[in-house]
């Protein structure tokens, strides 16, 4: 039993207190968000170089877009939006919203764009029947959760879309995003006017950043809890989020110079796309018997509008052209002659109006041989000619002003240059262009 006292002594000894290890405060969580607007084709290498290298932001940056808008870039438009979608994926793009310009090449092509981008299409205030488009998606970057929503101007005139009341849609979507994430970002395809008004009326909505197009009268600044920014095509919006002892968010518009350095991997991804564009631009569409002057080219465009849309008549203006077409017409020549990528509109006009348009000093018509003044006709023209004023952001051009004749024209899926190119591709070789009649 000699071991008993030793056991008692051992069991009665005081246990030492564990050593205290002070690791200090936990480091804050930091994440970055980038939002681009418009086409992402030519700018992508410069943008990515800026936020990855100059800013030193990691590849885990949350990259978003307010829309691809391929029709505003002639190179991307030749590839029907495939270039922007491809480079958005290469940049790590996670989500985007869309508007009418994104559907310019039709719903099937747009569906391919969405697939090529590998990003989520977000529509908070639009119900889509042909696309999988959630109202909000949560993303995690550096252990910070972001709720992203998309606000669009799509409607029935653009396809299988139903516009929902904006205020009600935002109230529900923002509440969902706030419950799922620590930071909420809104992407607006189009102007911010209506969104700003809704945010002003609901200062309790928990939104941190809203990015929209730089429309006339738009201004950056705080609206309730949100920072509202309007980057142009040579800019992107950035957001730095730091969550630690305090919650710190810093949002700004970043300028990227046209001669800024380009990120090598993005240059490599863009190279085959540029090569494909040059091949398409140089490919002849048709060989004419002689070069076409401005009058002949204008009538040819009017004929193309009429033919491709199967309308009764086509209308185009000489003042909308940059120059006539050469004898060998390439895609590049068409793109350099026509003013911009804009939609073709179908307008219901009385025969009396159609006959009056014949005497317009600058516009030329492709029309039926006989016109009944009391009849009704479908006229194919461009959006800028239809209106009495310039479109926001569009170059100045001739305005016919048919709004008073038909306030609700049909917006065609045809774009002006693609309609002309399709018409010329089907034209016989050595085709003589129709000659406009001499006006008295």
Instruction: Express each pLDDT in 53-93 by its tens digit.
Output: 989 998 899 999 999 877 777 777 788 888 999 999 999 99
Determine the pLDDT at residue 430. 55
Determine the pLDDT at residue 343. 80
Determine the pLDDT at residue 208. 98
Position 103 pLDDT exceeds 90? no
State the pLDDT confidence band at 7, using cuts at 50, 70 and 90: very low
Name the token pair of 103.
């559907």
Determine the pLDDT at residue 438. 54
Rounded percentage of the chain residues whose pLDDT exceeds 90: 57
Question: Per this entry, what is the length of the chain?
Answer: 440
Tell me the C-alpha distance between 347 and 61, whole Å.
46
Determine the pLDDT at residue 216. 85
Mean pLDDT of the chain: 87
State the pLDDT confidence band at 132, using cuts at 50, 70 and 90: confident
Q: Which has the closest alpha carbon to 205: 180, 230, 223?
A: 223
Tell me the C-alpha distance between 355 and 373, whole Å.
7
Determine the average pLDDT of the residues in 152-181: 93
Determine the pLDDT at residue 127. 95
Instruction: Express each pLDDT in 17-36 by its tens digit.
Output: 554 444 456 789 999 999 99
Instruction: Express each pLDDT in 353-372 by its tens digit.
Output: 999 998 888 889 999 989 99
Determine the pLDDT at residue 6. 39
> 14-23, 277-286, 302-311, 423-432: which range is least confident on average?
14-23
Determine the average pLDDT of the residues in 146-172: 93
Determine the average pLDDT of the residues in 389-418: 71
State the pLDDT confidence band at 391, using cuts at 50, 70 and 90: very low
Question: Taking a C-beta distance cutoff of 8 angstroms, is the pair 412, 271 a contact?
Answer: no
Determine the pLDDT at residue 106. 80
Determine the pLDDT at residue 11. 42
Q: Which comes out higher in pLDDT, residue 131 or 187? A: 187
């Amino acid at each position: 039993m000699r071991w008993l006292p030793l056991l008692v002594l051992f069991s009665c000894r005081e246990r030492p207190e564990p050593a205290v290890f002070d690791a200090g405060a936990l480091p804050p969580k930091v994440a970055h968000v980038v939002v681009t607007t418009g086409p992402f084709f030519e700018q992508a290498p410069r943008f990515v170089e800026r936020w990855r290298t100059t800013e030193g932001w990691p590849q885990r940056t949350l990259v978003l877009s307010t829309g691809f808008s391929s029709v505003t870039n002639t190179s991307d438009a030749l590839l029907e939006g495939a270039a922007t979608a491809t480079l958005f994926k290469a940049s790590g793009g996670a989500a985007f919203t869309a508007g009418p310009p994104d559907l310019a090449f039709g719903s099937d092509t747009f569906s391919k764009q969405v697939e090529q981008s590998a990003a989520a299409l977000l529509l908070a205030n639009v119900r889509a029947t042909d696309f999988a488009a959630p109202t909000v998606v949560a993303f995690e970057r550096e252990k910070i959760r972001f709720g992203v929503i998309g606000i669009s101007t799509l409607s029935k005139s653009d396809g299988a879309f139903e516009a929902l009341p904006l205020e009600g849609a935002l109230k529900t979507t923002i509440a969902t995003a706030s419950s799922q994430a620590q930071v909420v970002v809104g992407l607006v395809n189009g102007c911010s006017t209506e969104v700003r008004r809704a945010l002003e009326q609901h200062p309790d909505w928990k939104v941190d950043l809203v990015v929209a197009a730089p429309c006339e009268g738009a201004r950056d600044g705080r609206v309730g809890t949100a920072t509202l920014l309007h980057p142009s095509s040579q800019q992107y919006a950035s957001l730095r989020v730091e969550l630690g002892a305090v919650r710190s968010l810093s949002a700004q518009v970043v300028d990227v110079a046209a001669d800024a350095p380009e990120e090598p991997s993005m240059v490599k991804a863009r190279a085959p796309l540029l090569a494909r564009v040059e091949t398409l631009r140089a490919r002849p569409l048709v060989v004419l018997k002689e070069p076409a002057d401005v009058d002949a080219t204008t009538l040819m465009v009017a004929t193309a509008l009429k033919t491709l849309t199967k309308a009764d008549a086509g209308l185009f203006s000489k003042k909308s052209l940059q120059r006539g077409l050469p004898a060998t017409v390439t895609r590049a020549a068409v793109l350099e002659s026509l003013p911009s990528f804009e939609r073709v509109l179908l307008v219901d006009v009385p025969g009396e109006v159609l006959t009056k348009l014949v005497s317009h000093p600058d516009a030329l018509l492709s029309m039926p041989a006989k016109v009944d003044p009391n009849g009704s006709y479908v006229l194919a023209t461009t959006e800028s000619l239809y209106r009495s004023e310039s479109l926001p952001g569009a170059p100045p051009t001739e305005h016919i002003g048919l709004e008073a004749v038909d306030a609700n024209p049909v917006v065609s899926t045809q774009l002006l240059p693609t309609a002309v190119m399709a018409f010329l591709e089907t034209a016989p070789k050595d085709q003589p262009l129709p000659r406009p009649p001499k006006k008295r």
